[in-house]
């Protein structure tokens, strides 16, 4: 199948090309992101392949549909960047990679915790400058901490298991509780308010949906323990950035570790080192000594790239061959509109 692959980097081209020897699709790699301005580049491509910061809104999808696109193959689990209603209205099928390596993201969240707690970012720089002073590096034992896990799906569950291994007690919150979480031991589901009030570390692993947008806002932060550690490896829009900045300034948030950022589309996956970044909130966050930011790299392991390539190309092959699509994203029956184009 002819596939326009948007937002590709060298590592995407390598993993997709080597896996494609088993699928034989005609892959055309584009470095640019998909949006309503660039959608015309996919004219004549029945399949368009997207990553997390491509913007498949109604306008872009209409241009794609007019150009003959019938399949959107997401190289991600998250799908908040795709207007599923517009896709359904335009008769487009959407497939994704529901799980490529939940370990990659869960382990990265744990990495952020250790980085912040033991101030490894400071320690690394100090030692390189022959400064062996310990002042300013004081941490706390993770053992015995209470960890709040918001979203106990594939990634949240693995994260919880790792934290259980550290000797933490676990408070979970999920719209759809899962007995695998409580089976970990020292883990129970609570209301969000109880989780906010009691957790020393809070890690976000739920999807970005209208109901989870700014889940962490000023009111939520107000309920948290003073000095709480907040970790977000899920989606930037879960945290109200302005409220988080305020929370850090007043000392309520003691540590912030984020792999995702509300306005990351403008920044991440590119080198801005010779430019003046115009996002003041991002620059302010960067300036705080208790904030660690990574640029949406939690998924970025060899294992995950391999699985993303394999599942994406298998999804495309299944669509081409008219097979059942196990990884199709569908709207709930009640909200499925009639196909008009």
Shortest distance, CB of residue 13 to ligand NAD, whole angstroms?
19
Q: Measuring CA to CA, how many Å separate 244 from each of 27, 91, 248, 257, 284?
A: 41, 40, 6, 11, 11
The residue from 205, 296, 310, 333 that is catalytic is 296
Q: Pick from 193, 191, 237: which is nearest to 212 by CA? A: 237
Q: Residues 75, 96, 108, 235: which is the catalytic one?
A: 235
The residue ranges that bind ligand NAD (CB under 6 A) are 77-78, 99, 102, 105, 150-156, 173-176, 205-209, 211-212, 233-235, 259-260, 296, 298-299
Which tokens belong to 62? 């209409």
Active site residue 296: yes
Q: Distance between CA atoms of 42 and 56, rounded to whole angstroms?
A: 13
Output 87 or 260, the one with its CB closest to ligand NAD: 260
Query: Per the residue annotation, which of 81, 89, 96, 264 is the catalytic one?
Result: 264
The verdict on whether 264 is a catalytic residue reads yes
* Cβ closest to ligand NAD, residue 117 vs residue 203: 203
Work out whether strand 146-150 and strand 169-173 pair parallel, antiparallel, or are unpaired: parallel
Compare residues 69 and 212 and give the one whose CB is closer to ligand NAD.
212
Q: What residue is closest to ligand NAD based on CB?
A: 153
Nearest-approach distance from CB 110 to ligand NAD, in angstroms: 13
> How many CA within 13 A on the CB side of residue 27?
28
Distances (CA, A) of 184 to 85, 96, 122, 244: 37, 29, 34, 30
CA distance 177 to 212: 16
With beta carbons less than 8 A apart as the criterion, state whether 226 and 254 touch. yes
Q: Is 213 a catalytic residue?
A: no
Could you tell me the smallest distance in angstroms from the CB atom of residue 341 to ligand NAD?
29
Q: What is the largest CA-CA distance in the chain?
A: 67
State the minimum distance, in angstroms, from the CB of residue 71 to ligand NAD: 21
User: Least CB distance from residue 279 to ligand NAD, whole Å?
Assistant: 19
Query: CA separation (Å) from 137 to 118, 163, 189, 248?
Result: 6, 22, 33, 18
Locate 221 and state its tokens. Answer: 């932060």
At 171 the three-state DSSP class reads strand
Distance CA 89, CA 87 (A): 5
Nearer of residues 77 and 253 to ligand NAD, judged by Cβ: 77
Least separation in angstroms between residue 227's CB and ligand NAD is 24
Residue among 137 and 175 whose Cβ is closer to ligand NAD: 175
Q: How far apart are CA 204 and CA 102, in angstroms?
A: 14
CA dihedral (66, 44, 270, 51) positive or negative: positive
Measured CA to CA, the distance from residue 148 to residue 151 in angstroms comes to 10
Closer to ligand NAD at the Cβ: 102 or 247?
102
Kindly list the catalytic residues.
Answer: 235, 264, 296
């Amino acid at each position: 199948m002819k596939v326009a692959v948007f937002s590709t980097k060298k590592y995407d081209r390598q993993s997709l090309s080597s896996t494609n020897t088993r699928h034989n699709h005609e892959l055309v790699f584009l470095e640019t992101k998909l949006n309503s301005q660039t959608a015309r580049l996919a004219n004549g491509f029945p399949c368009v392949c997207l990553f997390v910061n491509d913007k498949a809104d109604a306008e872009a999808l209409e241009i794609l549909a007019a150009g003959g696109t019938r399949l959107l193959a997401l190289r991600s689990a998250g799908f908040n960047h795709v207007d599923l209603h517009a896709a359904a209205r335009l008769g487009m099928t959407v497939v994704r990679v529901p799980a490529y390596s939940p370990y990659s993201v869960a382990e990265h969240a744990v990495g952020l915790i250790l980085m912040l707690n033991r101030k490894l970012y400071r320690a690394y720089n100090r030692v390189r400058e022959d400064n062996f002073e310990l002042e300013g590096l004081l941490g706390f034992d993770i053992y015995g901490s209470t960890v709040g896990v918001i979203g106990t799906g594939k990634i949240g569950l693995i994260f919880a298991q790792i934290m259980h291994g550290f000797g933490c007690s676990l408070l979970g919150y999920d719209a759809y509780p899962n007995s695998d979480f409580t089976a970990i031991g020292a883990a129970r589901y609570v209301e969000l308010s109880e989780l906010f009030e009691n957790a020393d570390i809070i890690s976000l692993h739920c999807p970005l949906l209208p109901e989870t947008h700014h889940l962490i806002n000023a009111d939520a932060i107000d309920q948290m323990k003073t000095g709480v550690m907040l970790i977000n490896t899920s989606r930037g829009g879960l945290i109200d950035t302005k409220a988080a900045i305020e929370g850090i300034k007043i000392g309520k948030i003691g540590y912030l570790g984020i792999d995702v950022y509300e306005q990351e589309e403008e920044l991440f996956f590119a080198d801005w080192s010779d430019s003046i970044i115009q996002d003041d909130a991002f620059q302010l966050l960067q300036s705080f000594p208790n904030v660690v930011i990574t640029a949406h790299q939690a998924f970025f392991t060899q294992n995950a790239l391999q699985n993303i390539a394999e599942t994406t190309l298998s999804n495309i092959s299944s669509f081409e061959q008219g097979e059942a699509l196990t990884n199709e994203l569908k709207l709930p029956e009640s909200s499925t509109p009639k196909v008009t184009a």
